[in-house]
Each structure stands twice: as C-alpha cells, then as structure tokens.
Amino acid sequence: MITKHHKVKSRQAYACDHCGKHVYPMAETIFEKSTTPLKLWFYAIFLISSTRCGISAKQLQRELGVTYKTAWRMFHSIRSLLQEDYNPMSGEVEIDETYIGSRKPGKRGRGAGGKTTVFGIAQRKGNITALITPDIKSSTLYPVIKKYVLPDSMIYTDEFQAYNSLRKHGYNHKRVHHASKVFVQGNAHTNTIEGFWSVLKRGINGVYHAVSQKHLQDYINEYSFRYNHRADEKPMFKTVLEKI
C-alpha cells in the first residue's frame, strides 16, 4: 500500500501519515549519519567519476569548500563503492605482478624491497582484477588464479618461475621471456596488464603522490573500476550513482 509521508524535523527521516512509522532513505548508504548536504555529495561523486586519473582529497576540499577531514571522509566513502566482483574470466587471460610503495628497489622472487605486492589478472578485451598479496609464492598466487580464471583458459605470462605449474592446474599457458628482451611472441604478451600497471602507478604518483598500504587496495579498486567501465555507453557518474 502506498501512503503519504511527511518530513520529520531534526531527523533525516520521513514519517508515514497513516501509521507514523519512520523511513530513513539514507540508511545503509554512504550518506548515513552525514550532515554534509546531498548536493555536495553528488558534486563530489561527479568530480571523482568524471576525471580520468582521479582527484585528490585536497582538490576535493577546494572544489567543495569543506574541511579536509570532511573531504577525506567523503573521498573514501565514495571510493568504497568501487569494489566489484566479476564472473571468472575465460578465453585469453594475462597475469602479472607488480610492486607499489617505497622507492627501495626490489628483486622479483626475493621480496619486494619494502614495497607492496600487487597481483593482477586481465582478460583481453575484458575486465581486470588486481589484488594485494602478501607475497608471490605459488601457494599464494594459484588460489587467486583458480578463483578468477576458468580452467582451459589460455594464460599468458612472463618467465617468472611461479607460473611454471599452470598447465598442471588445468590451464593452457604461453609465456614471453622479458629478461631476454622478448616482449611479444605471436599472441603471447602481457601488454594489457602492464598497460594497466602504468596507468595505476602514474595515477598514484601523479595525483595522490603517496598511498598508505592500509588504503592501497581501495585505490587499486578505483583504477580497476575505471578500466572495467571505460567502454560503457552511460556516463561513469551514473554508474557510480547506481552503486549507491
């Protein structure tokens, strides 16, 4: 039954004219318990979603005219909407790992030199999934691969030894030997995932300058979201609003 409601004074609620029950439209959303006007929330969402490489909380503060604390809270609340789970990938898939963080150089397979390890899976002409992992051991990577890539898929990698057992796990596997300066061999290459790493690192270094390990996954989710919705016909602003 549809009934009329009236606004409750001093509360973010509406009361039913028939039974008096309160309805809280912003409950369980990023707007819950926020005193910031919705107009500024929607403007913040527009700014974050309409920029190609992202926008910093400091820039958001200047654009909205709010305190940095408020801008930072809005910034991370909106970013929390951008985490997505996709169906397992199939067909042609590229996997690779990278390191994000301090300037201390790391050696592959011997720790990341103080940096945070990020493992990525990219379906060619499809979506990308990127996750922080504690290390790049086979015992860590294969459960992630099995979760996000269907058996019998063709997986392209570089020469990293952790990928040696992909065929034993039910995958087709081709690789390129980057150490020998071979980056493309027929259909075998990892250019898709490496292109994403470049966009991610340029964004973090150029827009945010420094990201703590605590919040790094949220930033990775943001750039994954942008990549995965890059070809959508509808504006990304609308896509983010639908996530609310």
d(CA 84, CA 148): 13
- Which CATH number fits the domain that encloses residue 188? 3.30.420.10
Domain count, the chain: 3
Co-location of 28 and 41 in the same domain: no
Are both 20 and 76 inside the same structural domain?
Answer: no
Based on the fold, state whether residues 119 and 200 are members of the same structural domain.
Answer: yes
Can you give the pLDDT of all 244 residues of the chain as single tens digits?
A: 677 877 777 777 777 877 877 776 777 788 888 888 889 999 999 998 888 778 888 999 999 999 999 999 999 999 888 888 888 999 999 999 999 976 544 444 445 557 899 999 999 989 999 999 999 999 999 999 999 999 999 999 999 999 999 999 999 999 999 988 889 988 999 999 999 999 999 888 878 777 878 889 988 999 999 899 988 888 889 989 888 8
Has residue 195 been placed in a domain? yes
Task: Kindly state whether residues 179 and 139 are assigned to the same domain.
Answer: yes
HEC secondary structure over 53-105 = CCCCHHHHHHHHCCCHHHHHHHHHHHHHHHCCCCCCECCEEEEEEEEECCCCC
Residue 15 domain-assigned? yes
With CA atoms as reference, report the closest residue to 89 among 154, 143, 184. 154
Domain of 101 in residue numbering reads as: 92-211
Is residue 128 within 8 Å of 193, Cβ to Cβ? Answer: yes
- Residues 15, 69 share a domain: no
Please report whether residue 129 resides in a domain: yes
Clarify whether residues 39 and 114 are in a common domain.
no
199 and 233 part of one domain = no
Q: How far is CA 17 from the centre of its chain?
A: 43
Q: What is d(CA 166, CA 122) in angstroms, rounded to the nearest whole number?
A: 16
67 with 127, same domain: the answer is no
pTM of the model: 0.81
What is each CA distance from 153 to 97, 167, 193, in whole angstroms?
A: 19, 10, 16
